[in-house]
Amino acid sequence: MKPKSLQELYLEQLRDLYDAEQQIIKALPEMIEASASEDLKEGLTEHLEVTKGQVTRLQQIFTALGEKAKGEKCLGIEGVIDEGSNLIDGIDDPAVRDAAIIASAQRVEHYEIAGYGTTRTFATLLDDEGASKLLQQTLDEEREADQTLTALAEEVNVKATKGKSVAGEKSEKPRKARIA
Ligand code: FE
Ligand code: ZN
Ligand code: FE
């Protein structure tokens, strides 16, 4: 059903976030498994735990609204996750794969930041103060996750340039023929 009021749009956005978080909980273990860097593994594992708490917050909001905690398929995050997992799949170089994992994970975080920012603002406008606070907490966590990933990218992306010719430098090894 199409939302007919801001209240209904707010509820729709909450359902979208609820489904998105569940998709992320399903996707993260695969990304953790594929990570070579211990720091990256740790960062993603920690965010998986944080994400479970974010689901709980959404459930609290649904309960306070007298609504069933029910998701509505988030096609956006599905696309972001699919694209990331397709990309990561075929990469053999561990450092390059890690760089791809971070690239994909940051897209996920930015998508969430957009969703939580909007929904938090709706909550404030609709005088749902309790929800506004809970959504702000999650928004802060998503921003923190994004910053952690940026810091990790600084070490991982540098590693990914090793062994291959860096722009402006000559590689000492001859280029390997591309297999398959
Ligand atoms: Fe989240
Ligand atoms: Zn969505
Ligand atoms: Fe997140």
Domain that holds residue 122: 6-161
Q: What is the CATH number of the domain that holds 52?
A: 1.20.1260.10
pLDDT of amino acid 101: 98
Ligand nearest to the CA of 53: 1
Total structural domains within the chain: 1
**Looking at beta carbons, which pairs linking 134-140 to residues 24 or more positions away fall under 8 Å?**
134/57, 134/60, 134/61, 135/57, 135/61, 137/57, 138/54, 138/57, 138/112, 139/113
Spacing, Cα 64 to ligand 1 middle (Å):
20
Residue 167 lies in a domain: no
Ligand nearest to the CA of 75: 2
User: pLDDT by residue (tens digit) across 64-112?
Assistant: 999 999 999 999 999 999 999 999 998 999 999 999 999 999 999 999 9
104 is a domain residue:
yes
Give dist(CA 98, CA 137) in Å, integer.
28
Q: What is the pLDDT of residues 106-122, one digit of tens each?
A: 999 999 999 999 999 99
Does the residue 171 lie in any domain? no
- Whether the pTM exceeds 0.85: the reply is yes
Instruction: Determine, yes or no, domain membership for 91.
Output: yes
